[in-house]
Structure 1
Amino acid sequence: MDEMIRKLIRKYKTSCPFELSRSLGIHIRYLDLGKSTKGLYYRKLRRRFIVIHSELSPEWQRFVCAHELGHDRLHKGINRFFLEEHSYFAPGKLERQANRFAVGLLSAGTAILQDETTETYCKRVGIPPEMHTYIQP
C-alpha cells in the first residue's frame, strides 16, 4: 500500500486527495448523508464518484476524500452494499484498509517528531485525531 501511495504522489505531484481524485477522473460531490454516513464511493456507467457529507469539517472532508480514494485504488469492483447483503465477508476489513490508505496518503512525507504523541501528530498533519490508531511509527 505504501508503494501505491508513493507512486500516486510521484505521478501526480500531490498528496491532496481532492487533486488526486480529479486527476484520476473521479467526480466529487457533497451531499447531506445523514447522521451515520461520512462518505461513500461508487461507480455508475463507468463513471466514478466520491460523495462527501456536506456538514463535515474541512479536516474530515479531506480525510473522507482520501478514505474513499483508498476504496477506488484498493477495492476495484467491490460493492460494499452487495457484500453486506449477499455474503458473509466483513466489510470492516475494507474500511480499515481504506483508513490506513487515507492516513498514509495524508501523512506522506512527514514523520512523528521526537516526544510527539500520535494525537498531536494527527493534528499537525490534518488527520482527524480519532484516526491516530492507524499511524505507524
Structure 2
Amino acid sequence: MSTKLAKQTLNLLNDTKKTNNDKDTSKKLKLPKINKGIRKVKHEMRYGRHKKTNLLQKEKKRHENPLDQLYQEELSAEERLKRNVQLLQSALKASEVEKSIYRDVIKEAKSKRGKKWSSEVDGSEGDAAYNSD
C-alpha cells in the first residue's frame, strides 16, 4: 500500500509542475511591437472615435456655404438674446408686496410734494410781482 501511495504522490507532484508551466505560458500575452505598446492601442480605442468624428465635422464645414453658416449664427444669437431677455424679465419682476410698497412710497412722496406746492402757492399772494397787475 505504501508503494502505491508513493507512486500516486510522485505522479501528482510531477503532473502539477507540468500544468503550472502550461498555465503560466498560456496566460502571458505578448505586447504589440510599437512605440508605447498596449498604451497606444488603448488610447486609440478610447479616443480614436472622437478624432474621426471631429475630422468628419470639419469636412462638412468646409463644404458648407459660409453665408448659410453666418445666417445660422445670427439666428442663434437672436434666439439667445430673446431667451436671456425673457429670463431677466422673469427674474427681475417685482412681487405684489414690492409693488404695493412702491405705490405707498409714491403716494407719500406725491402728498408731501402736493402740500409743499400748495403752501407756496398760498404764500405767493404777498409777492410784489404777482400783485403788480
Normalising by the smaller structure, the TM-score range is under 0.3
Normalising by structure 2, what TM-score? 0.18
Q: Who wins on radius of gyration, i.e. which is larger? A: 2
Greater helix share, structure number: 2
Greater strand share, structure number: 1
Higher RCO (CA-CA < 8 Å; seq separation 6+)? 1
Normalising by structure 1, what TM-score? 0.18
